[in-house]
Amino acid sequence: MKKKDMNKQTIIQDAVAKIILTEGAVSVSTTKVAKLAHIAQSNVYLYFKDKQALLDSVYNRERDRIINTTDIAELRNHDIDIENRIRYYIEQVYDYSLTNPDSMNLIEQIKFLMGEDDGLVISDSPNDIVHELLQEAMDNQVIKKLPINFHMGIVFSTIHRHTNNIIENKYSKSEYKFETIYQFIWDAMRIN
Amino acid sequence: MKKKDMNKQTIIQDAVAKIILTEGAVSVSTTKVAKLAHIAQSNVYLYFKDKQALLDSVYNRERDRIINTTDIAELRNHDIDIENRIRYYIEQVYDYSLTNPDSMNLIEQIKFLMGEDDGLVISDSPNDIVHELLQEAMDNQVIKKLPINFHMGIVFSTIHRHTNNIIENKYSKSEYKFETIYQFIWDAMRIN
Amino acid sequence: MKKKDMNKQTIIQDAVAKIILTEGAVSVSTTKVAKLAHIAQSNVYLYFKDKQALLDSVYNRERDRIINTTDIAELRNHDIDIENRIRYYIEQVYDYSLTNPDSMNLIEQIKFLMGEDDGLVISDSPNDIVHELLQEAMDNQVIKKLPINFHMGIVFSTIHRHTNNIIENKYSKSEYKFETIYQFIWDAMRIN
Amino acid sequence: MKKKDMNKQTIIQDAVAKIILTEGAVSVSTTKVAKLAHIAQSNVYLYFKDKQALLDSVYNRERDRIINTTDIAELRNHDIDIENRIRYYIEQVYDYSLTNPDSMNLIEQIKFLMGEDDGLVISDSPNDIVHELLQEAMDNQVIKKLPINFHMGIVFSTIHRHTNNIIENKYSKSEYKFETIYQFIWDAMRIN
DNA sequence: TATGAATGAGTGTTCATTCAT
DNA sequence: AATGAATGAACACTCATTCAT
């Protein structure tokens, strides 16, 4: 029932996601995608201009998912002090990553495949909201004066590593609390 | 004459490395490698069992290069206090990365191609020397009690990001000193 | 409003013609045609049995256009001496070709695609009017006794070449008068 | 025996030629070529960079064949009067065409496929030998002052048509002598 | 009349790998 | 040790055509 509601676009994107997660982005081929989606290979081109567009769409879907999950308003709410806004942001990344561990891996894989070096760091535009937040924090001498991708990087890579560790059963979800992870990240970022 | 001393193995590996760095690991093909190495395509199989072995060898070569550059003795020298040994280690990674920026990218690319998730974190064996060092530091409550790949991860990913930023001309080499980078990493690791 | 009077058939044919002239007959595909005609791809099959029928129709449309432009009555008018009737015919081909240079190219392209060797020579039926005229001229020893497609061929290919030379800016329209072109053709045909 | 001497290049080119002549240039596909040449499809790319290179090579092979058959020295021999040199040239084209009727068709087909409009007119370079000859004839007021491709065109297209008529059994080889064909062509060209 | 969805067969091209010499 | 030739499988992508709605 529910499945039938999904349109083909989504089915195809899901197939791509599955392949990326199980075999790696390199292994994505229209043939495999079509097989997994139970359609003819040529059919892929009915829904996506070409392979690049297909990968882009999967990437964007995931990126949007993240962005939509983020409580942007709060990040801009100047009634909250900046340190807490950053903490709130990290918490959101943390929650998102634990809830959707695949999402992060998808984004990482696709970005890498396309030759972008920044890994998980998502920065749509320079005046991106998080960018803004971190810049403000830097200007106010709350966090260290460093390239912004250092700050974004440590947030993402730490949380991502944590999530992967759990997935790979290196330890259980309960073994490290958010507070612990957060402290690690925040100690790096903040001026003390 | 001297050049001719380089055996074919090395010539081939160099070709692979060059392709990876310029076009990405995905683009490595025996055809291209052979062309770049000025040998017949089939010749690649004289020196390497298959493509996988070839990539492995390039990976291992780089990994060994890193390990050999590291002053292991010093890391084990208990006359030096542990904090300084870690600092020394970070310094060595830092120096290596700035001196051989390609090396890190090679490792990252090959790891990605093979579907390994840990990125740059190299851990050959559990009783690896760095592993040992960090474990000791954790036991002595010098660094935070966290999965070891957190500690290794922040070292590598921060330094790697820094190196890439420089390569991509985001800023000049002189803009951030080692001390600054180190402080960022160390603040995350240490218990304060 | 008026434009809407053009029925879909015509719109589709026009699309085909445009593609042939800009990209060559080989490049005609239902996909492209449909896109250019602003209809669904499958819609092409509503108006034409298959691709072959579509091409045929475009060919026939052009052939009819030529035939209808030709003043047949005059060609048969025995009050005019035969030499002048042939001259009149050549003049008409000349005028048509210069006025509708695309027309000739369309016919040539489609013929090529269908593997017909006679190029521009259009001969619907053996008792074709021009056929008749030339036969009569041959019988009356006005033109050389040669296969009829020699005579038709030289008319078409010379004029077509002239037209293309102009289109390709090899020289301007005014550089060679009809009389000059005609003399070239007629000298070949006539018995002297 | 003899067949074995032919290298694969030639075998492949022959396959292409056969397909062009039987099915038309449009029908040439690497698959068909490979099948006809009894090799794997991928093998085509061992001998030719891509399909274009393959077609080019078939074209060039034929063009060279024509050029090598032509007695260039004689065409430049100013001891012979120009009219006779042109006649000699036309005779050579005539002989070649009748001896190698396929050759002309191959060239025509490939040229058309590549979108060149000049049909059989082969003009390698502006100072091409035939070009030279005709220009000289025009300057000396032996032939009409017209675009050179008119003169070349009538030679080729007339002879080609004649050859095709014979192939298609429209009449027998003996029905029209060279002299007849020549007269038709020459009357068009010459100033009278 | 019109369309979107579907598809199988085909396209040119690249690949890793094998083998005879 | 070295090579050129060979190949089957895979790739992304386009095509003419059909069919249910």
A2 & A36 share domain: yes
Tell me, yes or no, whether chains D and B touch by having 3 or more C-beta pairs under 8 A. Answer: no
Residues 6 or more apart whose Cβ sits within 8 Å of residue C83 = C137, C142, C190
Q: What is the pLDDT along chain C (192 residues), one digit of tens a residue?
A: 334 446 889 999 999 999 999 999 999 999 999 999 999 999 999 999 999 999 999 999 999 998 888 888 888 899 999 999 999 999 999 999 999 999 999 999 999 998 876 666 666 555 588 999 999 999 999 999 999 999 999 999 999 999 999 999 999 999 999 999 999 999 999 997
Residue A133 has a pLDDT of 93
Name the band, by pLDDT with cuts 50, 70 and 90, for residue A152: very high
Cβ within 8 Å, pair A188-B188 = yes
> Are C47 and C3 contacting, i.e. CB atoms less than 8 angstroms apart?
no
Q: Which residues pair with B190 in a beta bridge?
A: B143
Residues 6+ apart with CB under 8 A from B155: B89, B90, B93, B185
Q: Is A161 near chain B, with CB under 8 Å?
A: yes
B51 touches chain A (CB under 8 A): no
Do A93 and A145 fall into the same domain?
A: yes
Residue A118 banded pLDDT, cuts 50, 70, 90: low
Amino acid type, A191: I
Q: Please state whether at least 3 CB pairs lie below 8 Å between chains B and A.
A: yes
C52 Cβ within 7 A of any nucleic strand F atom = yes
CA distance A125 to C71: 69
Q: If pLDDT is split at 50, 70 and 90, which confidence band does A2 have? A: very low
Judged by CB atoms closer than 8 Å, whether chains meet at B113 and A180 is answered as no
Q: Are residues A177 and A134 in the same domain?
A: yes
Among residues B47, B49, B87, which one has the least CA distance to residue B71?
B87
Residue B129 contacts residue B72 (beta carbons within 8 Å): yes
Q: Which residue of D has its CA nearest to C155?
A: D154
B180 near A CB under 8 A:
yes
Q: How confident is the model at residue A119 (pLDDT cuts 50, 70, 90)?
A: low
Cross-strand partners of D143: D190
**Of residues B149, B164, B184, nearest to A188 (C-beta):** B184
Query: Residue D147 and residue D159: Cα distance in Å, rounded?
Result: 19
- CATH code of the domain containing C94: 1.10.357.10
Subunit contact A187:B192, Cβ cutoff 8 A: yes
Residue D49 sits at φ, ψ, to 5 deg, of -50, -50
Q: Does the beta-carbon distance from B158 to A153 stay under 8 Å?
A: yes
Are residues C24 and D115 in contact, defined by beta-carbon separation less than 8 angstroms? yes
Please tell me the predicted confidence (pLDDT) of residue C5. Answer: 43
A119 - beta bridge partners?
A: none
Residue B60 in any domain: the answer is no
Bridge-partner residues for D190, per DSSP? D143
Q: What's the rounded mean pLDDT across residues D176-192? A: 96
Contacting residues 35-54/B vs strand F (CB within 7 A): 39-43, 46
The reply to whether D48 falls in a domain is: no
C123 touches strand F (CB under 7 A): no
Q: How far apart are CA A80 and CA B161, in angstroms?
A: 31
Q: Within 7 Å: CB of D43 and strand F? A: yes
Quote the pLDDT of residue D192. 80
> Strand F closer than 7 Å to the CB of D40?
yes
Chain F: nucleotides below 7 Å from protein CB are 1-20
- Asked if the structure places residue C87 within a domain, the reply is yes
Give chain A positions within 8 Å (CB) of B157: 153-154, 157
Interatomic separation, CA of residue D31 and C1' of nucleotide E10, rounded (Å): 9
Q: Given CA atoms A103, A105, A110, A115 in this order, what sign does their dihedral have?
A: positive
For residue A145, what is the nearest residue in chain B, using CA coordinates? B180
Chains with 3 or more CB pairs closer than 8 angstroms to B? A
For residue B123, the model assigns a pLDDT of 63
Tell me: the pLDDT tens digits for A13-60?
999 999 999 999 999 999 999 999 999 999 999 999 999 999 999 999
> In this predicted structure, what is the pLDDT of residue A3?
42
Position B127 scores a pLDDT of 56
Tell me if chain C has a CB within 8 Å of the CB of D185: yes
Element (H, E) at B81: none
Point out the residue among B150, B176, B183 whose CB comes nearest to the CB of A161.
B150
Per-residue tens of pLDDT for chain B, all 192 residues: 334 446 899 999 999 999 999 999 999 999 999 999 999 999 999 999 999 999 999 999 999 998 888 888 888 899 999 999 999 999 999 999 999 999 999 999 999 998 876 666 666 555 588 999 999 999 999 999 999 999 999 999 999 999 999 999 999 999 999 999 999 999 999 998
Average of pLDDT values for D146-162?
Answer: 95
- Contact status, residue D74 vs residue D88, Cβ threshold 8 Å: yes
Is the domain of A106 the same as that of A182? Answer: yes
A138 shares a domain with A97: yes
CA D51 to C1' F10 (Å) is: 19
Count up the domains in chain D and report the number.
Answer: 1
What pLDDT digit, counting tens, does each position of D81-139 carry?
999 999 999 999 999 999 999 999 999 999 999 887 666 666 655 558 899 999 999 99
Question: Does the nearest atom of strand F lie within 7 Å of C81's Cβ?
Answer: no
- The answer to whether residue C175 sits within a structural domain is yes
Whether residue B158 lies inside any domain: the answer is: yes
Question: pLDDT value at position C3?
Answer: 41
Predicted model pTM = 0.90
Radius of gyration, CA atoms only, chain A: 19
Q: Is A185 on the interface with B (CB under 8 A)?
A: yes
The verdict on a CB contact (< 8 Å) between C188 and D192 is no
Same domain assignment for residues A78 and A118: yes
Within a domain: D24: no
Q: Which domain holds residue B110?
A: 71-189
Name residue, tokens 């890439």: B164
Strands (E), chain A: none
Q: What is the 3-state secondary structure (H, E, C) of chain D?
A: CHHHHCCHHHHHHHHHHHHHHHHCHHHCCHHHHHHHHCCCHHHHHHHCCCHHHHHHHHHHHHHHHHHHHCCHHHHHCCCCCHHHHHHHHHHHHHHHHHHCHHHHHHHHHHHHHCCCCCCCCCCCCCCCHHHHHHHHHHHCCCECCCCHHHHHHHHHHHHHHHHHHHHCCCCCCCCCCHHHHHHHHHHHHECC
Confidence at D50, pLDDT banded by 50, 70, 90: very high
Nearest to B147 among A24, A171, A192 (CB): A171
- Name the residue among D58, D86, D72 with its Cα closest to residue D127: D72
In a domain, A144, yes or no: yes
One domain, residues A160 and A121: yes
- Check residue D186 and give its pLDDT: 98
* C-alpha span between D160 and B77 (Å, rounded): 92
Neighbour subunits, C (≥3 Cβ pairs < 8 A)? D
Q: Does residue A23 approach strand F to less than 7 Å at its CB?
A: no
Closest to A184 measured CA to CA, from D177, D105, B189: B189
CA distance C66 to A152: 72
CATH of the domain at A41: 1.10.10.60
Neighbours of chain D (3+ CB pairs under 8 A): C
B130 within domain boundaries: yes
Q: How far is the CA of C34 from the C1' of E1 (A)?
A: 16
Residue in chain D closest to C21 (alpha carbons) equals D115
Residue A10 sits in the same domain as residue A105:
no
